[in-house]
Structure formats: structure tokens, C-alpha cells
Amino acid sequence: MEDQDIGLPVLMARQAIYTKSQDVAAYELLFRDEDGNFVSGLKDDDATLSVLVNSYSSHSKVSQSPVPFFIKLTGEVLLDDQLPDFPRHMFVLELLSHTEVTPRLIERLKQLASQGYRLALAGFDPADTRLHPLLKVIHVLKLDIQLIGLDRIPSLVQKLKPFNLELMADKVETQDEFRRCLEMGFVLYMGYFLSKPDLVRGKKISGNKILLMQVLHELQNPNATAQTVEQMALKDPELTYKILRVVNSAAVNLRREISSLSHAIALLGMDQVRRWVMLFLTKSDNGKPTELTRTMLIRGRMCELLAEMLDYNDPMECFIVGLLSQLDVMMDMKMEDLLSEVPLQQSVKDALTHHQGQPGLLLSEVEVYERGEFQELKKLLPSQFYEVSYRHSLKWADQVLEAMQ
């Protein structure tokens, strides 16, 4: 990791906010102190704020189009004259619902809106009448569909129409819930609905993934040579070209260009080339959002980095477990069915299906971290190592995605 990647006094993660076409419209920033408490305010002179703006706000080069970040703030921070001068096009100020609603706060929100800030309200409870004056000021309203209940939402949406708000469905957990919210007219969606497979009975691994499986199998063959692997991969010249693109990308940071798979194996070894071949299992070929691939890459790299810091015997195995942990979602197949067709060690399969062993333990930690449930971490390492690993993994995933395009 880079020298400037220092640990911070807060734990930070981000969660995607999607459009109805499941493209990323924004990210919500999650941050807590080392004890798991909400950070009440950030000042311009904090190192924390500098990293937040510079590291977490830089969206992938793949899209060539930066997306905004939702940042949760209390009423006290919004009323504070020391509120940082956030870039208006990059940050949506998200008010927490437990904030005391006063005439002074309403005026402050109107002032911020007039300055070009977009405002959001989280945790709206239609029964809480004290929040109703905010509906005339904010731009985005988050509705927790689990808290309110899907059956109650259609009538609520009708009542909210006069306010011309962008409605965000929050805590959308399944594809069925996503489809129901889509029919109700929500504009934005947040939750883990992309993390669950939309199972298709009798589905098999697609043809263009079968060659990848064959190459992976040959890479694990103790009698394999660089030439036998290369000959197999060359059955799909485009795949070979894409693998070499990734190997020669900033994500690998080599000092010389690699011109062939046999050259890559000679220079990097079978295990490292297996790592890059395996990346293409995570690439969508069935219309799945790029963000799903990004999440798989982040998981894999973060598992590997934590394993290295913990001095585990096989960080590469931890990388593979993190990388493939949502392969069932990518291919809309049961994980057990998938693993019966993928040539992997039993320890990897046990980690993926039952979170067993060191790789399974790290996968659990990374899943907890990415959800922002920092208080649930087992703290295998000091907190700042998690944050540094996550931040590095975001950057690495963007570099790999760019090379894979």
C-alpha cells in the first residue's frame, strides 16, 4: 500500500445508491469513530475531512462521470457556522430524522438550498408530524420500506406527490422488493437487493465462462507448463488479450510490459496468473451492474490485505474467497451448484459456503465492514488497518475495472 495511506481516527465505508436501471447514482458515506459512535461533526482542518473528500469522493474512471456522495449530518452541524464548504455538485447533505426541527433549522436549510446544495432526509416516519415542515425544503426523501411496510407505501407515495420529491427506497433487500418499489415510482434505491441471486432453475454456467474454468483447472495442474496454459487460453484470443491488459495495468504495477501469457507465468508464477484469470469470472456478461463486479474486487483485495497484515499462510486463498463470494449473485445460481463446477480447493469452498477457516473469518469481517456495521467487527487488527485496507481496495478495484473494460 502507498506510504500516504495512513490510518484515520474514524472507520469509513460507502454504499451504492442505484437508479431504476441499477446504475450507480450516488454513494452514501458511512463513518463512525473507533468505538462505533456517530461522528457528530467534521471541520475543514481535520485530516479525516481531507481524506473523505479526496479519497472517497473520487469515483471510478470507468464511468468518466463523477457521482455525488450523501453525507449524514446532524442539525447541530448544519447550524454550525463552521460547516465545511463541501463541493455542491459532489455532496448531498443528509439530515438525520432525530434532529430537532426548529424555525432556525428550516431557515438554515433554505439558505443551503439557495446556495446550490441538495438536501435529503433519512428515516422519515409519516406518523412523526414534526418532520412534515421539512418536506417543503428538502429534495430527496429516503423511505425505509422495512420500517414503513411495503403495503403502506403506495398511499404514502400519493400523499407525497405535491412536494415533488425524489423518493429513495431504503433497505431494499430482495429483487422482488426492488421490482415492487419500481412499480410504485421510486427514483433511487438503496439496500442489498443486488447481493442476492435471482435464482433461475436449471441454469448452467455460460459458454464463455467454460474456457475460463478450463484455464483455471490447467493452472492448478501440477504438471502444467506455461505453454500448455497459453495454448488453452489462445482458444479465445480476445480473452488472452484482456488478461494481458489487466496484467499490464496500474493494478499490478510492473516495471516492464508482459507480452504473452507464458511470459506472464514465467515472470509472475502460476498462482499470480491464476489470480488475474479468476478476475474474469467476476465480470458480468448477463447485464449485471458494474457495481457488483466492483464489490467483488473490493472484497477480494481487502481480504488479501488483511491476511497479509495478520501473517496468514495463504493470502491468495483469502483473495479468491473474497473475490468469488458473490459469484452466485453474478450468475444467478446457487453457490453449491456453482462450486460443483468450479475447480477450487475444498478449503475455499468451505469458506464460501460456511465461512470456515481463516479465509471464511476474513470474509465475514469484510462483509461486516462494507455494511458499515463497524461495532460488529471482531477487531482482528487495530481499527485503522481495516480503514486503510478498505480505502486501498477501492482504488485498486477501480484500476482493475478500467483495465478490464
| Percent of the chain residues topping a pLDDT of 70 | 86
User: d(Cα 78, Cα 10) in Å, to the nearest integer?
Assistant: 20
**Closest Cα to residue 386, out of 401, 402, 371?**
371
Least confident of 96-105, 135-144, 281-290, 352-361: 281-290
Least confident of 95-99, 201-205, 395-399: 201-205
User: d(Cα 151, Cα 127) in Å, to the nearest integer?
Assistant: 16
Predicted pLDDT at 61: 46
Asked whether residue 210 carries a pLDDT value surpassing 50, the answer given is yes
Least confident of 33-47, 123-137, 149-163: 33-47
Could you tell me the three cell numbers for 111? 439558505
| Percent of the chain residues topping a pLDDT of 90 | 44
| Region of residue 17 (phi > 0: left; psi between -120 and 50: alpha; otherwise: beta) | beta
- 129 vs 77, higher pLDDT: 129
**Closest Cα to residue 8, out of 263, 399, 404, 385?**
385
Asked whether residue 40 carries a pLDDT value surpassing 80, the answer given is no
Catalogue all structural domains in the chain, each as residue range(s) with its CATH number: 10-195 (3.20.20.450), 207-404 (1.10.3210.10)
Q: Which amino acid is at 243?
A: I
Predicted pLDDT at 63: 47
pLDDT (tens digit per residue) in 222-256? 888 889 888 888 888 888 888 888 888 888 888 88
When pLDDT is averaged across residues 204-227 and rounded to a whole number, the result is 79
When pLDDT is averaged across residues 116-128 and rounded to a whole number, the result is 92
Structure letter (DSSP) for residue 62: T
pLDDT (tens digit per residue) in 345-364? 899 999 999 999 999 999 99
Mean of all residue pLDDT scores within the chain: 85
Asked whether residue 84 carries a pLDDT value surpassing 80, the answer given is no
Least confident of 103-117, 311-325, 326-340: 326-340
Predicted pLDDT at 276: 85
Write the DSSP assignment of 104-154 as a string of letters: HHHHHHHHHHHTT-EEEE-S--TT-GGGGGGGGT-SEEEEEHHHH-GGGHH
Asked whether residue 136 carries a pLDDT value surpassing 90, the answer given is yes
Asked whether residue 58 carries a pLDDT value surpassing 70, the answer given is no
> Cell 422488493 identifies what position?
177
Q: How confident is the model at residue 62 (pLDDT cuts 50, 70, 90)?
A: very low
Least confident of 46-50, 139-143, 390-394: 46-50
